[in-house]
Homo-oligomer: A and B are copies of this chain.
Amino acid sequence: MRTLEVCLSPELIHQHQLEGKIVVVVDIFRATSCIVTGLANEVVAIKPVAEVEECKKLGEQGYLTAGERGGIKVPEFDMGNSPFEYQSENVKGKKVAISTTNGSQAIVKSKEADDIIIGAFLNLEAISEYTLQSKKNAVIHCAGWKGTVNLEDTLFAGALIDECAEEMKPQGDSALLAHQLYIGNHENLFGLAKQSGHAERLVGFGIEKDLEFCMTVDEYSVVPRLVNGELVGS
């Protein structure tokens, strides 16, 4: 039976062998929810970069610039990190360069993988179908918060394990833990996710609607994939 591992924080990614595997990067609040929303709404491509400066340089080359630091929009950027900004007419047909505190870093740290895809509750079923059809083992890479483990990404990992359970086995205790978290809370996903430290910080910025949207299941069917350094829909 194929295996599904969970890496609870980018600081633990060295414990996982990524070669030959699919890595599903997840940063529910909010980078990967934004990426999924953008590519489902006719954004052409999204380029994840680690540094603000690199993002600004891409802005000079015609990309829209997007992202946050510590949950707050970088002032010089065109967009912040809200999924609703990615539904706007202004982004259709455009390329976006995105730099965020956690999500971009997790993508960069997944580079040894055979295939990097972007997961969120918004495209949960599409991600599970893609993963099952790939015939490869998979690692769910939770972006967390500044290196710490977080509740909402772990909850997503558990949900994906649950979706894939008939054909893929959770491998390692982090995967079992994530699955148990989901089993115990699958009827109250938003209720639990709202308790996370990250959610509390963001609610402090007045964006509870963002959080609720990010916890919506199966809103989109796009599977963002990293191809030549850019995320494109598939």
**A interface vs B, CB < 8 Å?**
8-9, 11-12, 15, 145, 147-151, 154, 172-174, 176-177, 180-181, 183-185, 192, 195-198
Contact yes or no, B180 A184, CB < 8 A: yes
Question: Given A8-B8, A192-B180, A173 and B185 touching (CB < 8 A)?
Answer: no
Question: Given A11-B11, A12-B11, A183-B184, A176 and B196 touching (CB < 8 A)?
Answer: yes
Question: Given A180-B184, A184-B180, A192-B180, A173 and B197 touching (CB < 8 A)?
Answer: yes
Give the most central of A172, A173, A174, A183: most B CB within 10 Å: A173
Give the most central of A145, A149, A150, A197: most B CB within 10 Å: A149
A8: chain B residues at CB < 8 Å are 8, 149
Question: Given A9-B12, A184-B184, A172 and B197 touching (CB < 8 A)?
Answer: yes
Contact yes or no, B195 A174, CB < 8 A: no
The residue of chain B having its C-beta at the shortest distance from the C-beta of A6 within the complex is B149
Question: Given A11-B11, A183-B184, A184-B183, A148 and B172 touching (CB < 8 A)?
Answer: yes
The residue of chain B having its C-beta at the shortest distance from the C-beta of A171 within the complex is B197
Contact yes or no, B192 A173, CB < 8 A: no
Can you sample 13 A-B contacts with CB below 8 Å? A8-B8, A11-B11, A12-B147, A12-B149, A148-B172, A148-B174, A149-B174, A149-B177, A150-B173, A151-B177, A173-B196, A183-B184, A184-B185
Question: Given A183-B184, A184-B183, A197-B172, A15 and B177 touching (CB < 8 A)?
Answer: no
A180: chain B residues at CB < 8 Å are 181, 184-185, 192
A15: chain B residues at CB < 8 Å are 147-148
Question: Given A8-B8, A9-B12, A177 and B154 touching (CB < 8 A)?
Answer: yes
Shortest beta-carbon distance, A163 to chain B, in Å?
Answer: 19
